[in-house]
Structure 1
Amino acid sequence: MTIEDFLRMMLRNALVLLVLTIVGAVAGLGLSFTRSPVYAASALGYVSANTSTDESGSPVAQSGGNMELQYSKAQSYLPLFRTRAVGERVVEDLGLQQSPDSIAGSLQATVDPNAPIITVTAYAGSAEDASAIANSAVEATAAEALELETGADGRGTPSVQLVPYQTALVPGGPASPDRSRFLLAGAALGLLLGLGLGWLRSRNDSRLRTPEDITALVGVPVLGSLPDVKDFTRTKDGALPEPESFAARESMRKLRTNLRFVDVDSPPRSIVVTSSTAAEGKSTVAANLARVMARAGQPTLLIDADLRRPTVAAAFGVDGKVGLSQLLAKSISVEDALQLSGTRGLTVLPAGHIPPNPSELLGSRSMHELVEEFSRSYFVIIDAPPLLAVTDAQLLSRQVDGALVVAVSGRSRSDELLRGVEAVRSIGGTVYGVVMNRVPSSRLTRIAYGASAEYGGYGKAYDKAANIPEMDEIEIAAIDGREVESSAPSHLDSGQARTTSTPVARTSGRRRADVEPDS
């Protein structure tokens, strides 16, 4: 795992990390209140050199070696503080109920590195006891040391002697538990637990989040990344309005451009748009891709081949009672089946009557011939059912040049996408690429899930420039040697529609969507 992966894992699991860190901190603080308070008090003892006298009783000057002796003796006295003998003296002196061993065990002694001063720290359950034990321990150790130096009869004068130097004060608060340390330790443990859970989630999370994930999995490129914006949302009656934001429109144009270059030597004339599972947005992608293909000057036909749950008729507001199923059954003519969409250059073929045998119809020779005939006049886009639900899309992939598979960023799972792609390949179909749908738009989410920030703030100034033709349409027109009209409504009659090669879309007899000017 790289540092970038680690940071993304933290951002993806930020809420879990925050909650567990807070819970750990609260638990640590609560644990500190279950511990009995312990108070600490320190007293000082000084190892002094006794003044020696000559035969006449006059003091003899001290030599520099006495300081070394004092420091050496101070070091040797340290073990005395934790002996039972000292503990017994303290218990007797203070009249304590504890055992001598427990008193001796509660003492800590250290020597100042620059002077023969011993610091004795006593720990007790009350502040007064800690202070009293520390002071008594210095006196008890001094007496014990003097007895060891002079013998049991107390004769002679030792060269050095431990004497009380500074008494211990009554502490103002407990030395432990240190509530801040418990709190920090609990927070750290909670954070570590959160990181562990985040790592496990990442290891077991098979959801696809980045184009690199998809390419590594199925071996085909991501041809488009569509942002998670409301422009791609249908209305309550199933209608699919034109995208208005720059991000939405530009993402569809990029998909269109990439699709044109998937096979330069043999450009596709017909594709099927599908997904591995339901509710991944394949119908929305198919409809909007058909729109941008038509707006670029390419006569386009959108076929609703989802004969189980058709959506194209509702999306464009056309009559869905007749369409593909009747056409395959040869009960109506092509002219009666095709309908204008309201977008210049785009014709739609609704699903029509829902048949009892969709798979047989879509895999029939008639369907193959129909697609072949339409692809001579149109760029054909077929909206198909999900691959893993039924075999319809799998069969249709043999009828077209290639397939686009739609996957939802952060929701579609790798095993499902792989099974869907393999289903197409297993019968000889071609998968041109994958379309990542609902890519997170917020900057923080893009960073967390590795989605690219393709748009930023660029293009917002152009969102309302409806009277300016798309640049790619102008370029295509220049190549074809034709002129492109401005898309302003005043330049186009409400009933005007672009004429296309045969077959001609039906304009009467059944409901037809009003033709709208390009924008």
Structure 2
Amino acid sequence: MELQDYLNVIRKRWMIIAAVTLVTLGLAAAYTALTPRTYAATTQFFVSTSGDDTASSLAQGNTFTQARVKSYSQLLETPKVLGPVIKQLGLNTTPDKLADQVTSTIPLDTVIIDVNVTSGSPDSAQRIAAVVGDVFPQTIQELERKGQQESPVKVTLVKEAAADPTPVSPRPTRNLGLGLVLGLLLGFGAALLRDVLDKSVKSQRDLETVTDRTILGGIAFDTDASTHPLIVQVDPRSQRAEAFRSLRTNLQFIDVANPPKSIVVTSSLPGEGKSTTTANLALSLAETGLKVVVIEGDLRRPRLLDYLGFEGSVGLTDVLVGRVDVDDVLQPFGRTGLRLLGAGPIPPNPSELLGSANMEQLVADLSERYDYVLIDAPPLLPVTDAAVLSTIVDGALVVVGAGVAQREHVRRALESLEAVNGSLLGLILNRVKVKDMGSGYGTYEYDYRPESERQRAKDKGPRRQRRPIAADDEAALVVPRPSVSSARSSTPEPLTQAAPTQFDRLSAG
């Protein structure tokens, strides 16, 4: 993984990181609050030897003392020293338990012994350290005495016992700091593990790990899509509507020399948004003056005409069995060049009807008369209808629902197309969350407000009124639409009123 991948994990899984960090901080705070307070008192000893003041004697004595100091340090934690301390203070403990409260250290290359005593109160720690300061030198004298001679080693108390009123344990600042760092590390680890174990497709980067086929575009997730599926018509200035126009442009430039005219739109699983994608793509194509026909090819669970608000009781199945002529059941959508062919009655054999010679002839005839023929097909994995249709059209578009399809689902769906030699034009990533739009697409702000509104927001002044258009000016703004024949001609056509969106960003996919 690259640095950008880790940053994406943090951005996508920040709630996991925050939750784990808060829990760890809470545990650290609880540990700090429940841990008994411990106070410390310190004292210090100096070890020396008796003898003459010659250089050789001093050197020998210094070497001897440094060697003995290590033993004396260990002696501090033995019952020989701690037993009299317990007896003198009347403590209700044993030498072994008291030894856990007494620690000694020797600074490097010195004959000094630092003693540290801990206890539940500053006074108790100070009293124990003070008695140790009295008992320890006497114990050394007894151990080093040879008969009636004085001990050649002398232990001198150089620092009286002193207690620190601040507890040495627990340390709230240190504990909370460590809890914060540990929580961030554990949270990031949990987020990274969650991201690794998550096999669903959520961004273009995830989709690129499955296939190297062309990704034509990404459509942002909209919770209101089921209520208002035709975003291109309902809110033409929205980001999602612009994404469909970018998809339209990318589709038109797939193969300029031999552009696909008949296209099947499918997905891996139900619920990925193929029907709404088909409807909005058809509207985007039709708003440029192209003649488009949309066939409701899902003969099992037809939904397309319901989204468009049309009746589909008579439609494709009636045409395929020869009951009606196709021109009698094609329904116009407003004043655009869009025509709709509903599914009709649901047959008992959808796959056979869609793969029949009549269906192939119907697609061929409509491709001659229309600029685009879009077929809304069932998902690839549950049934074979879409795979069958892909063999009689110019190509297939596979819609991948972010957060709906797993990577394995997409892989198997593409393999089913390859198995029948279906032509894959590209993939469309749908339902992409805004936080994932940056993973491969970048984050863009679209401002489609009128110029007067944008200027007013910039200047924070009164709204500026646009000059009314005179009759001569209005006539000058009318640009004739090209004919259907000119839409497919090899010579450049004049721009229509919708032409600015014809040249959308080609890199949106």
TM-score (ref. length: structure 2): 0.79
- Size of the alignment, in residue pairs? 473
Q: Which residue of 1 aligns with 2:40?
A: 40
The amino acid of 1:256's aligned partner reads R
1:453 to 439, 442, 445: 442
The amino acid of 2:101's aligned partner reads S
SS at match of 1:223: strand
SS at match of 1:421: helix
| Counterpart Cα distance in 2 of 1:14 and 1:407 | 25
SS at match of 1:371: helix
| Counterpart Cα distance in 2 of 1:446 and 1:265 | 32
| Counterpart Cα distance in 1 of 2:228 and 2:239 | 23
Q: Which residue of 1 aligns with 2:214?
A: 221
| Counterpart Cα distance in 1 of 2:322 and 2:452 | 45
SS at match of 2:161: coil
**Alignment of structure 1 residues 270-281 onto 2, 5 Å:** 270-281=262-273
| Counterpart Cα distance in 1 of 2:104 and 2:75 | 9
| Counterpart Cα distance in 1 of 2:109 and 2:295 | 94
Q: Which residue of 1 aligns with 2:139?
A: 144
| Counterpart Cα distance in 2 of 1:90 and 1:104 | 11
| Counterpart Cα distance in 2 of 1:119 and 1:237 | 79
Consecutive unaligned residues in structure 2, runs of 5 or more: 455-473, 499-509
Q: CA deviation at 1:139?
A: 1.6
| Counterpart Cα distance in 2 of 1:100 and 1:70 | 29
8 Å CA contact retained: 1:245, 1:463: no
| Counterpart Cα distance in 1 of 2:150 and 2:316 | 122
2:408 to 404, 415, 419: 415
Q: Which residue of 2 aligns with 1:438?
A: 431
2:285 to 293, 305, 318: 293
Q: Which residue of 1 aligns with 2:90?
A: 95
Check if 1:346 corresponds to 2:338: yes
Q: Which residue of 2 aligns with 1:254?
A: 246
SS at match of 2:30: helix
Q: Which residue of 1 aligns with 2:128?
A: 133
The amino acid of 1:275's aligned partner reads S
Instruction: Quote the sequence identity (%).
Output: 33
| Counterpart Cα distance in 1 of 2:452 and 2:266 | 29
Q: Which residue of 2 aligns with 1:164?
A: 157
Q: Which string of whole-angstrom CA distances, capped at 9 and with x for unpartnered residues, describes residues 98-121 of structure 1? A: 333443453222345697653211
8 Å CA contact retained: 1:340, 1:348: yes
Q: CA deviation at 1:268?
A: 0.8
| Counterpart Cα distance in 2 of 1:169 and 1:351 | 93
CA spacing shift, 1:341–1:8, aligned 2, 3 Å: same
SS at match of 2:417: helix
Q: Which residue of 2 aligns with 1:27?
A: 27
Q: Which residue of 2 aligns with 1:110?
A: 105
Q: Which residue of 2 aligns with 1:514?
A: none
Check if 1:203 corresponds to 2:196: yes
Q: How large is the Cα RMSD of the aligned pairs?
A: 4.0
| Counterpart Cα distance in 1 of 2:300 and 2:232 | 19
The amino acid of 2:421's aligned partner reads G
SS at match of 2:162: coil
CA spacing shift, 1:17–1:462, aligned 2, 3 Å: same
Q: Which string of whole-angstrom CA distances, capped at 9 and with x for unpartnered residues, describes residues 349-401 of structure 1? A: 22233333333322221111000000011111111122223222222112211
Q: Which residue of 1 aligns with 2:369?
A: 377
CA spacing shift, 1:464–1:434, aligned 2, 3 Å: farther
CA spacing shift, 1:482–1:88, aligned 2, 3 Å: closer
| Counterpart Cα distance in 1 of 2:367 and 2:487 | 20
TM-score (ref. length: structure 1): 0.78
CA spacing shift, 1:343–1:418, aligned 2, 3 Å: farther
Q: Which residue of 2 aligns with 1:366?
A: 358
Q: Which residue of 2 aligns with 1:387?
A: 380
SS at match of 2:386: helix
| Counterpart Cα distance in 2 of 1:451 and 1:463 | 34
SS at match of 1:168: strand
SS at match of 2:431: strand
Q: Which residue of 1 aligns with 2:18?
A: 18
CA spacing shift, 1:137–1:241, aligned 2, 3 Å: same
